[in-house]
Structures are given as structure tokens and as C-alpha cells.
Amino acid sequence: MSESSKVLIIQTAFLGDVILSTSLIEKIRNESPESEVHLLVRKGNESILMAYDFPILKKVWVYDKQEKWKSWLDLRKKLSSEKFDRVVLVQRFFGMGLLSICIGAKYIVGFDKNPLSLLFSKKVKHHFGNGDHEIKRNTNLLWDWLGEKVYKPYLNPPVIDLPNGLMPKNYLCISPGSVWETKRLPIQKWIELIQLLPISESIVLMGAPNEKDLSNEIFTAFEGTNRPIYNETGKHPLLASTYIFQQSKKSFVNDSGPMHICSAVNVPTVAIFCSTIPAFGFGPLADESLIVETSKSLACRPCGDHGKIHCPLGHFKCGNEIDVKGMLL
């Protein structure tokens, strides 16, 4: 057991990144249980942390990017009064690097790609694209304190009544959306997948409110059939959606936030990678998981570290040439 510490973890990126950062909290909880952890996230992502049910997470702080510098200044003042022993900066950007060095923490650790890393107590090499998972990269920020053992992300959402009288572990979730278009399996492919599934399988379509059109297209394709399909996209707050994923028999997702939710609640996961590749380090982590991608070698894939708004070449072969039969294994 390592010495206790008052720790601030900073991760103000996307929802999936926040979920993966719970692996750091889990490491501290298991290896320094007397420590106190605070987490700083982007506004809109804070509610997911209500599903982290261990008291070691003392407080979740919120950074409002809509009022960028006003929020930054407010956080500098409030975080300075907390007198942190250690700041763990997962972010690699200037603003959070500056915040880290302005709040009077005794020790600051972050990645060497942060433009202010020379001012940190310790900077860690950020390896990307070599197959290391993001949770391993992040754990490197704690190795000099807690060692190299990697823990999985963890969420345990509160129980809710499932929609439409569904029973736990008796339905499949499909989440067709992503922030980036080139990370989305084409809608026709989702329809083909559902047509291959036994007619007795209940399907629950999930996603954010701005993804309703995607789910509506799938739902409409099965209107008037015997297929039990429920469109729950945009109908539930984040915490409730997490529980719906957790209680599914299996979830089918793109390389997106829902995939990381499934990892954290350890539900069997089929993860589809179109323009991005698993070697970037953001693959599924559930005990039962399957990665599906095109079997063809495409010179244009990956077309970037993240997804893109549109396929740069216009053909989207990385998505259109995925064989949905491979998702049934």
C-alpha cells in the first residue's frame, strides 16, 4: 500500500476519455485507498461520474468551455484553495497545462506533448499508435507513485426501471452514432445486421438526442414487421443510458463514447472500427468483446487520429466494406 495523497486528475476531453480516466481512480483506490481523488471534466460530462460509487472520488469539478477563461479563472481560485499534493494531467493542451502549474500543487505529472511540460515536476512520454491502450498510457502517469499495474475503467449506475418492460440481460443494444461521421457504420449495415439476428431478439436503439435521425432510419426499416425493436435514442439522461447498456445481453457500438460505457460496465461488446484503428489504443475492454473492421488493406485507413466529418476520398470503403456477418461471432 502506497502513501496517501490528495490528487486532482484533469481530463476535460470527450465523454469516452472521462470514462477511461476512471481506470486511474480505480488504481488509486486499490493501491492507495486512503487517498482523496478529485476529477476535473468538461461541462456536460460530470453526470456520468455519479455512476462511480466509491467514496475515494471526493469531488467532480466542471470546466465550462462555453465561458472558457471565466471558468478557467474561477477554477484556478477554487482549486488553489484545495492544496493538492499531486496533479495528474491527462490533457495535452496548453490551457489545462497552465491551470496545473497555477494552483500550487506540490507535484505535477503530465505528458511530454503538453506545451508546458517543461514546467511539470515530471513529464511522461506519450506513445500513440503502437497498440498500447489509452488506460495503459494514462497509468504511466502514476507509475512512479503506484507502479505499473493497469486497472480497467469502472462505472456502476443506479438502478432504474427499464423502458418498455424490458428484462435485464434479455435485449441487445445498438448505438449507431458517433461525433464523427467516418466512425459510423453505415445505417444500411445496421439494418443488414438486425435482419441476420433471430427474430426473437429485442433490439434497443440508443444514442444522444442529436443522433435521433440515425436511429429513426433503422427503426422505420422494421415498422410493420415482427421484429421487437425500441427506439430509445435521446430519451434518457446519461446516467440512465449507462444502466440500459449495462443490463443488455450484448451491445453493438461504433468507436465512440458508448463503447467506453460498455467497457466500464463490463457488458459484452461488439465494437466497429471504420476510419480509426484499434492500434490507436481505444478498443473495447469488456471481458467479452469483439472488434469488427474491414478485412481489406486500405491505403487511406486510418485517415487521421480521430474521425472526420466526411470521408476525404468520398468512397468510405472502411465502413461500406465491413461484413456484418463478422459481428455475429
Indicate the angle between helix axes 238-246 and 257-265, nearest 10 degrees. 60
Q: Are residues 242 and 114 in the same domain?
A: no
Task: Let me know if residue 1 belongs to a domain.
Answer: no
Q: Are residues 305 and 171 in the same domain?
A: yes
Q: Are residues 212 and 63 in the same domain?
A: no
pLDDT score for 1 = 57
Tally Cβ neighbours within 10 Å of residue 201.
15
* Whether residue 312 has pLDDT greater than 80: yes
pLDDT score for 130 = 85
Task: Let me know if residue 152 belongs to a domain.
Answer: no
Q: Are residues 172 and 133 in the same domain?
A: no
Q: Are residues 35 and 136 in the same domain?
A: yes
Q: What is the Cα 317 distance to its own chain's centre?
A: 25
Arithmetic mean of pLDDT, 29-47: 97
pLDDT score for 298 = 97
* Whether residue 289 has pLDDT greater than 80: yes
DSSP letter at 67 equals: G
Q: Are residues 297 and 171 in the same domain?
A: yes
Q: Are residues 139 and 169 in the same domain?
A: no
- The 10 Å CB-count burial string (b at 16+, else e) for 23-53 is bbbbbbbebbeebbbbbbbbeebbebbebbe
* Whether residue 271 has pLDDT greater than 70: yes
Measure the CA dihedral 104/105/106/111, to 10°. Answer: -120
Task: Let me know if residue 113 belongs to a domain.
Answer: yes
Q: Are residues 204 and 64 in the same domain?
A: no
Question: What is the distance between the alpha carbons of residues 26 and 305, in angstroms, rounded to a whole number?
Answer: 27
pLDDT score for 329 = 73
Inter-residue contact 100 to 87 (CB < 8 Å): yes
Question: What's the domain count of the chain?
Answer: 2
Digit-coded pLDDT (tens) for 115-164: 999 999 999 999 887 889 999 999 999 999 999 999 999 999 999 999 99
Task: Let me know if residue 157 belongs to a domain.
Answer: no
Range of 107's domain?
Answer: 6-146
pTM comes to 0.95
Arithmetic mean of pLDDT, 188-206: 97
CATH number of 290's domain: 3.40.50.2000
**Main-chain phi, psi angles of 60, to 5 degrees:** -110, 120
